[in-house]
Amino acid sequence: MKMNGSQMVCEAITREGVKVVFGYPGGAIMNVYDEIYKQDGFKHILNRHEQASVHAADGYARATGEVGVAMVTSGPGFTNAVTGLATAYMDSIPLVVISGQVPLSLIGTDGFQEIDAVGISRPCTKHNYLVRDINDLPRILKEAFYLARSGRPGPVLVDIPKDVTAEFGEFDYPDSVDIPTYKPSCKGNDRQIKKAAEAIINAKKPLIYIGGGTVLSNASELVRELTQITQIPAVETLMARGVMGADNPLLLGMLGMHGNYASNMAMSETDLIISLGARFDDRVTGKLSEFARYAQIIHVDIDPANIGKLVDVDYPIVGDITIVVEKLIEQLQERVNPKNYESWRDVLKRYDTLHPQSFKDSDEVLKPQWVIERIGKLVGKEAIITSDVGQHQMWAAQHYPFDRARQWINSGGLGTMGFGFPAALGAKVGCPDKIVINITGDGSILMNMQELVTAAEYEIPVINVILNNHYLGMVRQWQTFFYDKRYSETDLSYQPNFKALAEACGGIGYDVTTKEEFDRVLLEAIERKKVCFINVAIDRLENVLPMVPSGGALYNMMLEHKD
Amino acid sequence: MENIRRVISVIVMNESSVLARITALFAGRGYNIDSLTVAPIPQSNFSHITIVTKGDKRIIEQITKQLNKLVPVFKVMEHEEMIEKEMVMVKFSVKERLSDIAALCGAYNGGIVNVGTDIVIAMATDEPKRIEHFLEATQIFNPIEVVRGGVVAIER
């Protein structure tokens, strides 16, 4: 079938089953937008900033497991999208981002709104393309979707010059993809898996270390089954919250810099780490030379480059978590004796009793942890929780009772402030039946507050709970601990009127200072089904604890802070 | 861990920006490139890139794994048993002792390749270590300019 490049883009998006595209038009991408106007294969949502478009596509992808699609124009449209690409890249989120480019004849001439998009995005995409020939476009679009979702997922950029979007060519959309240089291995080596199973059977203090790869592989149920039949305790990374479910007695909690005592001690004392889709990030391991000193390591990851990158691994297994865990269960069923780990479980239980994840509540001032636990009590399993980056993110990860994978959406790898609100829009669009709440801070929310307009226009009722301490809280916390309280540029006392701001953009706003108010307001906000800001005044100087100071050993946790 | 020298061959699809992907990977992750050569493989859509790098064992392993992750990379070979050769061209004044220069080049698989009114150009092709020796030996002839070609290697 003959069609022009713009029609090809729309047709490919439709054929890939994408229902929603997030984007922002501009000169170089106008031809494609003209076709978007004429088609009804997918809906387009106009964000009010390109960064938000990519984050929204990202939130959509994380909530649904589908590929998210964003569309931007050349030059500044693209550079605004870079933070979104990098965010998705660091967390291995499948995205296809289409960017306009100046016409082929202008490339390299410093044309208006020209920037080397493939050059800039090379280190923050899984792969990228500059389309130089209309005849390549169908294949490239097909490959882009395939690359984004296969192997270790990630964002793929397709940069299309304006003349290519106007040119006509044969649209022969391939059914399958064959890239001779790209063959991700998913199955896991059976001999290694057998050896790993032996190691598990022989271990005395094994620990399952669950990372975001488990979520990406949709392996949550299988991992629960693995822990169930082995009765091996588990810890989750920030990216894996929800995989085990908060009520699961085998879940110790989150580990790492702001992990709970039992999780970090378990990691420090285990004799066998069973790592499932985690990558031994510095925020997880603390000081590497002191990390898990007594442990052998089974490392299951779909990306061979993650294995042996930071720690030496005894049982490397390259493969998809779903497939490998299935095989592990097969090997372990009827052979593993859960009783063998009983004394280990008892030790960990005692650690948890000794220093449980807790906080000191107050009647005078709202504590952020109370607010988060309260959201959990009021909407718990019904909600998808997104967050921005900072103290509120850590409190949410520590205190929200996550029940399932994909319930918790945050920027773990890049740590992008401003991610939460647009990601919540994407999540809500992808999962309209769920309540979507962005737990955010008074710093982060301002970094994409223009999305109030998007949410109001498209009637996407996302609730933003702003834990407002009038500080750039996490940096303030470090200044308190490590910089003698020199609060350099972290005092955010000068603020907008958040309630009025939300209302000015067509949403609703609330100011909350008491527990009673919070309960009433949250339920009312859910009821009113409109985008909203709930501005919650919290204890200004509350810290995120426990904390492993940066570069310290995981077992040296700061459990409380005294002035 | 101790730094080791490694010669790595990378077979890549012939497409625009593939070399940029590779050099950007080295720059972005802080790996060294001592030399890099690239040329198309005859009768194929592939090119052969030879990279000489330095790093400890973990870094070398990461380099090969990260290279393998790049979509247009077909194959990465970390050479152990190989023949490696490098070419060098040196410019001298025509007033130097030409027969001595020719003899020296002869010992390093080379010779004088061009003689002009003012200058003479000599070349040598040998293992990188021997090329170093050759360049040391040329010092007495006051070389005006030296151009090294970078290492190419083939597995034995």
Model confidence pLDDT, tens digit, residues A202-244:
999 999 999 999 999 999 999 999 999 999 999 999 999 999 9
Q: Which of A170, A203, A220 is the last residue of a domain?
A: A170
B24·A122 Cβ contact <8 A = yes
In a domain, A176, yes or no: no
Testing the interface with B: which of A181, A289, A301, A312 to mutate, by most B Cβ within 10 A? A181
SS3 percent helix, strand, coil of chain A, rounded to 5, is: 45, 20, 40
Which tokens in the block code for residue A165?
């979007």
Mean pLDDT across the stretch A267-281? 97
Please name the residue ranges forming H helices in A16-91: 30-38, 50-64, 76-90
C-alpha separations of A546 from A555, A557, A558, B56 in Å? 11, 6, 5, 35
Mean pLDDT across the stretch B73-83? 94
The pLDDT tens digits for A8-56 are 999 999 999 999 999 999 999 999 999 999 999 999 999 999 999 999 9
A182·B28 Cβ contact <8 A = no
C-alpha separations of B115 from A208, A524, B118 in Å? 72, 91, 8
Residue A386 has pLDDT above 90, yes or no: yes
Chain centroid to Cα A516, Å, comes to 32
Q: What is the pLDDT of residue A348?
A: 98
Same domain flag for B76 and B88: no
- Residue A110 is part of which domain span? 2-170
What does the DSSP assignment read for A444-507?
Answer: GGGGGTTHHHHHHHTT---EEEEEE-SB-HHHHHHHHHHSTT--TT-B--S---HHHHHHHTTS
Same domain flag for A455 and A325: no
Residue among A50, A167, A373, A451 flagged as catalytic: A50
Residue among A19, A39, A113, A326 flagged as catalytic: A113
A391 is catalytic: no
Q: What is the pLDDT of residue B33?
A: 95
- Residue B50 is part of which domain span? 4-80
Q: What is the pLDDT of residue A472?
A: 98
Question: Could you tell me where the beta strands, DSSP code E, fall in A73-114?
Answer: 95-101
Mean pLDDT across the stretch B143-148? 97
Task: Check: CB of residue A223 under 8 Å from CB of residue A276.
Answer: yes
β-strand partners of B49: B10, B38
The pLDDT tens digits for A404-418 are 999 999 999 999 999
Count of structural domains, chain A: 3
Residue B1 has pLDDT above 90, yes or no: no
β-strand partners of B93: B119
Residue A562 has pLDDT above 90, yes or no: no
In a domain, A40, yes or no: yes
Same domain flag for A104 and A64: yes
Same domain flag for A14 and A138: yes
Instruction: Find the residue in B nearest to A118 (Cα).
Output: B17
Residues of B in contact with A126 (CB under 8 A): 71
How close is the nearest chain A Cα to the Cα of B13, in Å?
8
In a domain, A359, yes or no: no
Q: What is the pLDDT of residue A303?
A: 97
pLDDT band at A425 (very low <50, low <70, confident <90, very high): very high
A327 is catalytic: no
A459 is catalytic: no
Q: What is the pLDDT of residue B113?
A: 96
Residue A309 has pLDDT above 90, yes or no: yes
What's the CATH code of the domain at A311? 3.40.50.1220
Instruction: State in Å, rounded, how far the first CA of chain B is from the last one.
Output: 28
Which tokens in the block code for residue A187?
């199955």
SS3 label, residue A256: coil
Q: Which of A118, A182, A303 minimises the CB distance to B17?
A: A118
Same domain flag for A10 and A128: yes
Mean pLDDT across the stretch A103-132? 97
pLDDT band at B2 (very low <50, low <70, confident <90, very high): confident
Residue among A112, A204, A381, A459 flagged as catalytic: A112
Q: Which of B32, B64, B80 is the last residue of a domain?
A: B80
Same domain flag for A411 and A348: no
The pLDDT tens digits for A506-516 are 999 999 999 99
What's the CATH code of the domain at B105? 3.30.70.1150
A558 is catalytic: no
Q: What is the pLDDT of residue A561?
A: 84
Same domain flag for A42 and A72: yes
Q: What is the pLDDT of residue B16?
A: 84
Same domain flag for B61 and B121: no
The pLDDT tens digits for A148-169 are 999 999 999 999 999 999 999 9
Same domain flag for B61 and B89: no
The pLDDT tens digits for B12-69 are 999 989 999 999 999 999 999 999 999 999 999 999 999 999 999 999 999 999 999 9
Count of structural domains, chain B: 2
Instruction: Find the residue in A nearest to B60 (Cα).
Output: A309
Q: What is the pLDDT of residue A157?
A: 98
Q: What is the pLDDT of residue A370?
A: 98
What's the CATH code of the domain at A445? 3.40.50.970
Q: Tell me the pLDDT of chain A averaged across its residues.
A: 97
CB atoms within 10 A of CB B41: 12
